Structure 1
Amino acid sequence: MNFKWFLAYRYFRGRTTGSAFLSFIKIMAVAGVAIGSAGLLIALSIVHGFSSVIQEKILGYGTHISISTYADDPLYRSDTLAVYLQDIPGVDDSQAVIYSQGMVQTRDFAEGTFIKGVDRDGDLSNIRQYIRDGEYNLGPNEEGLPGAVIGARLARNLDASPGSVITAYAIRGMPTPLNLPQIQQFHVSGIYHTGIDQFDDVLMLVDVDYARGLFEMPPPRATQVDLRVADLDEIEKVSALLSDRLPFPYYTETIYERYRSIFAWINLQEQTIPFVIAVMIIVAAFNLIGTVLIMVLERTRDIGILKTMGANDKSVRSIFLIEGIIVGIAGLLIGIFLSLAFYVIQDTWQVIPLPEESYYMTAAPVQPRWFDFVLVSTITLILCALASWLPARVAARLNPLSVISYGR
C-alpha cells in the first residue's frame, strides 16, 4: 500500500491515546455527509416516484392524442379519418369516439359530467386497471340496460354502486318544450378509481352506439378520434407529424397539453426539491474544512517528523487530502445504505402515508435510479475533496523546525 494512503487510513482510524475528541469530530463529519447524501437520494427517489405514479395514472386514464375540429363541429367521416391515421408512423391504434357534456341522475341526486362513447370492447386508455368495484362491461344487462363505467367520486356523489340504474341527459342549450334533452338509462357496471379527483368526478364511459343515440349523432360522425402511440416517448413527435399532415380545421391535442397543469406541478417538484436538499450535502462537505484542520493541529508533530524524514509538501498535502476523501467515502457509503433501507421499508410497509385528495396517492412512492446514485456520489466526493484541499495545503506549508517541538 502507498505510504500516503497507509498514513491517511491510520489517521482516519485515530486509535491513539487522547484521540477521543478527534474521533468524535470525525464521526460528526461522517454523519453530516451520510445524512446529506441520504437525504438527497431519498428526496430524488420520492420525486421520481411521484412523477412516475402520476404520469402512469394520467397515461392510463387518458388517450395519448386526440383529434377534433376548431369549431367543435363533428367529424363527418370519422371512420375514414381513423383508418387513415392508423398508417401514420408511430400510431399504434385509433378509434372514433363521442365525447360531450351531459347530466347523469339517480333517484335522489344529479351531477354534471362528460359522457364518452367508445367501442363496446373498450377505449384506447388503460382505465380497466383502475376498476375498483364491479367490472368493465359496456354491454346490456339481463334487463337490456346498457352498461356504464363511472368514476369513484361521481359514484359517491350520486350514491351509486355496481348495479344501480342511472339516467343520462344530453343537454344542448337551454331546455324548452321545443328543445327537450335526449334521455337514456344505463346500469352501473363498474367504478374506476385513480385517486385524482378531477378524473374520478367527470367521466362516464358508455357504448358508442348508445352515445350516438343520446347525442343524435348518426354514424360515421364522431366528436373526436383518439390515438394510441406505440412509444410514449414519441407522443410529441407523432403529434407534430399529424399537425403537418392534417388540414384545417383539424387540430391535435396531446395528453401532456390536456393536463399541462398537473405535469407542470410534477416538473416544479423535480426542479426545486433536489436543489433545496442538495444544500445539505454542500454544508456537510464544507464541515470537513474544520474537521481536517483539527486533524492537522493534532498531527503537527507527525508532520514535522515526516518532513525531517524526507516527505515533501506534496506528500503531506496528499495525506490529509486523502483522509478528507476517506471521510467523504465513509459518509457516502452510509448514506447510500440508509437510502436503500428507506426504499425497502417504505415500499414494504408504507410508513409515510399521504392524503390522497392532495397528493393523488395514499403513500409516498419511492423509485431510486442508478443514475442518481452515480451523480450524488460523484458530487459528494468532489465537494469533499475541495473542502479538504485548504486544510491539507495548510498542513503542507508547516515548517518542520517549528512543529517538532509543538506543545512543549
Structure 2
Amino acid sequence: MKFPLYFSRKIAFSKDNKNNLSRVIIVIGRLSVAIGIIVSLITISTGYGSKKAIKERLADFNGHINVKSTRSNSSYNTSVLDNNGLNIKKITEIPEVSGVQKYATVTGIMRTEKDFAGIIFKGVGTDFDSLRFKKFLLEGIAPKVTEKGYYNGVTISQKLAADLHLKLHDSIVTVFSKADQQPIYRNFEVVGIYKTDIKMIDDQMVLGGINHVRKIQDMKPDEIGGLDIFFKNVNDIDKPHPEIEKFIGYKNFIETATEKYPQITDWISIFDVNIALIIVIMLIVVIINIIMVLLILIIERTNSIGLLKTLGATNSQIRATFINYTLIIMVPGLVFGNAVGLTLLFIQRFFGIIKLNPANYYVSTVPVDLDPLPIISISVGILIISGLALIIPSYLISKISPVKAIKYN
C-alpha cells in the first residue's frame, strides 16, 4: 500500500479524532455532502422522471410518432394517407417499433340540452392498442371497434364528462359539419371515461370507430387518415427515423409526439435548465465545505506535517495524504445521503405521497425515475470533482516550514 493512502487511513480511523476540533469539522463536512447528495438525487430523479412521464403519456395516447398526409397540414380533419410507397408491414418489422395502429380524425361538437363542447373525434380501428390505453381509463372500456359497420360507443375524457354532465351509458349527440353541406348528426353511447392529465388532450379528444370518420370525410372503406407508431423506448421519440421514412411514401410525413404539442415540449425543456442549475449550486456548496475541512485539518495538524517533512516525506506525498484523508471523510456522507435520498424516492415512487396539479404539471403525482446510471454518477462525480478541487488548496502544505511547524502549538 502506498504511503499517502496508508497514512491517510491511519489518521481517518484514529481514535484521537474523536476528542479534538476536527470532530466538529468532519461532522459539518459529512453533513454538507449528505445534503448535497440528497438534493441532487431528488432533483435528477424527479426532473427526469417528470420528463419521461409526460413524454410517455403523450406517446401512449397518440403514438410516439404519427404518419400524416402532407395535405393535412395542421388541420384536425385528417386527409387520406397516400398509399404510394406506404408499407405498413415493413414499418411493423423495424426492431425499434412495438406497434402500429390506424386512425382518422374529424372535428365536431358534442351537445346536450344545456351544454356543448368542441371535440376532436379520433376514429380507431381493430388494431387499436387497448392494453396501452388501459392506464388512462377511469371507468368503462376502450373502443371495441369491428371491421364492418359502425361502432356507436365513444370513450370521452373525465373533463368532457364533467362539462357535459355525462356518465357511463349516457347518450350524446355529436354534430359534424361539412363544407357546403348540411350538418351530420350522430348519436353515441358513452362506454368509457379516461384521464391523461394533459389539458390539450383531455379538453377535446374523443375516441370512437374509424368508420364514422370515413363516412363523414367521404373516405373509402380501406382509407385511413394516419398511423400511430409506438416505440419500445420512449427516448426514441426525438431521434431521426430514416428507416421508417423509407416506408411512409413521398406524400406523407412524420410528426413526433413532442412536435405535436410544442408548448409541452418547451415546458419540458425547462427541466434540463433547473436540474443543471441545482446540481451546480449543490456541487459548489459541497466543494466549498470540503475545502474548508481540508484547510482546517491542515492547520490543526501542522505539527504532524512538520514531523513528516523532517522524516523525509515530500510535499506531494503529504498533499496526497490530506486529500485522501478528506475524501475518506466524505464517504460516510455519501453513504448516508444516498440512503436517505433513495429511501425518499422509493417512498414517492410506490406510494405517490406528493401530489401535483395536473393543470400545471401534466401529471397528478411527482414521478420518479430510478435509473441507476445518474444515481451512481452523482456520487462518483462529487468524489472526483471534490478530489480535483482539493489539489490547489493542498499546496498550502508546501508553505509550511518543518522547523516552525514542529514548534507550532
Alignment TM class, shorter chain as reference: 0.7 to 0.9
Distance 1:23 1:120, change over 3 A: same
Deviations 1:182-231 (A, max 9, x none): 10101100011111121112111111223333444442344334444566
Answer whether contact 1:40 1:277 (CA < 8 A) is retained: yes
Deviations 1:41-69 (A, max 9, x none): 22111112112211221111102333333
**Residues 272-281 or 98-107, more deviating:** 272-281
> Superposition pairs for residues 37-186 of structure 1, below 5 Å?
37-72=37-72, 84-88=87-91, 90=94, 94-120=100-126, 122=128, 126-138=132-144, 146-173=152-179, 179-186=181-188
Instruction: Report the Cα distance in structure 2 between the residues aligned to 1:83 and 1:250, rounded to whole angstroms.
Output: 8
Distance 1:216 1:125, change over 3 A: farther
| 1:364 paired residue number | 366
Secondary structure class of the residue paired with 1:404: helix
Q: Where do 5+ consecutive residues of structure 1 fail to align?
A: none
Instruction: Report the Cα distance in structure 2 between the residues aligned to 1:74 and 1:281, rounded to whole angstroms.
Output: 50
Secondary structure class of the residue paired with 1:11: helix
Answer whether contact 2:30 2:330 (CA < 8 A) is retained: yes
| 1:399 paired residue number | 401
Instruction: Report the Cα distance in structure 2 between the residues aligned to 1:74 and 1:326, rounded to whole angstroms.
Output: 63
Instruction: Report the Cα distance in structure 2 between the residues aligned to 1:81 and 1:232, rounded to whole angstroms.
Output: 29
Secondary structure class of the residue paired with 1:389: coil
Shift of 1:153: 0.9
**Residues 295-304 or 270-279, more deviating:** 270-279
Instruction: Report the Cα distance in structure 2 between the residues aligned to 1:342 and 1:74, rounded to whole angstroms.
Output: 46
| 1:23 paired residue number | 23
Secondary structure class of the residue paired with 1:253: strand
| 1:223 paired residue number | 225
Distance 1:282 1:221, change over 3 A: same
Instruction: Report the Cα distance in structure 1 between the residues aligned to 2:81 and 2:8, rounded to whole angstroms.
Output: 78
Answer whether contact 2:86 2:249 (CA < 8 A) is retained: no
Shift of 1:99: 0.7
**Residues 152-161 or 118-127, more deviating:** 118-127
Answer whether contact 2:17 2:23 (CA < 8 A) is retained: no
| 1:311 paired residue number | 313
Answer whether contact 2:103 2:226 (CA < 8 A) is retained: yes
Answer whether contact 1:34 1:331 (CA < 8 A) is retained: yes
Distance 1:44 1:60, change over 3 A: same
Answer whether contact 1:317 1:393 (CA < 8 A) is retained: yes
Please say which structure displays the higher CA radius of gyration: 1
Query: Which one-letter code corresponds to 2:141 in the other structure?
Result: E
Secondary structure class of the residue paired with 1:162: coil
Shift of 1:242: 5.0
Instruction: Report the Cα distance in structure 2 between the residues aligned to 1:77 and 1:380, rounded to whole angstroms.
Output: 53
1:279 aligns with 2:269: no
Query: Which one-letter code corresponds to 2:356 in the other structure?
Result: L
Shift of 1:384: 1.9
Shift of 1:255: 2.3
Instruction: Report the Cα distance in structure 2 between the residues aligned to 1:405 and 1:52, rounded to whole angstroms.
Output: 61
Instruction: Report the Cα distance in structure 2 between the residues aligned to 1:37 and 1:402, rounded to whole angstroms.
Output: 40
Shift of 1:285: 1.4
Shift of 1:373: 2.8
Instruction: Report the Cα distance in structure 2 between the residues aligned to 1:21 and 1:149, rounded to whole angstroms.
Output: 69
Deviations 1:144-199 (A, max 9, x none): 982111111111111111111001111134xxxx7321101011000111111211
Shift of 1:125: 8.6
Distance 1:81 1:167, change over 3 A: farther
Q: Where do 5+ consecutive residues of structure 2 fail to align?
A: none
**Residues 343-352 or 295-304, more deviating:** 343-352
Answer whether contact 1:63 1:124 (CA < 8 A) is retained: no
Shift of 1:394: 1.8
Distance 1:226 1:125, change over 3 A: farther
Deviations 1:279-322 (A, max 9, x none): 21222113222221111111112222222333332332222121
Instruction: Report the Cα distance in structure 1 between the residues aligned to 2:51 and 2:34, rounded to whole angstroms.
Output: 26
Distance 1:105 1:23, change over 3 A: same
Query: Which one-letter code corresponds to 1:219 in the other structure?
Result: P
Instruction: Report the Cα distance in structure 2 between the residues aligned to 1:249 and 1:42, rounded to whole angstroms.
Output: 46
| 2:12 paired residue number | 12
Instruction: Report the Cα distance in structure 1 between the residues aligned to 2:39 and 2:262, rounded to whole angstroms.
Output: 29
| 2:193 paired residue number | 191
Shift of 1:248: 5.2
**TM-score, normalising length: structure 1:** 0.86
The structure 2 residue matched to 1:210, chosen from 204, 209, 212, is 212
Distance 1:368 1:297, change over 3 A: same
Secondary structure class of the residue paired with 1:183: strand
Shift of 1:257: 2.0
| 2:387 paired residue number | 385
Distance 1:124 1:23, change over 3 A: same
Aligned residues: 399
Shift of 1:358: 1.3
Distance 1:403 1:145, change over 3 A: closer
Shift of 1:243: 4.5
Query: Which one-letter code corresponds to 2:11 in the other structure?
Result: Y
**Residues 353-362 or 229-238, more deviating:** 229-238
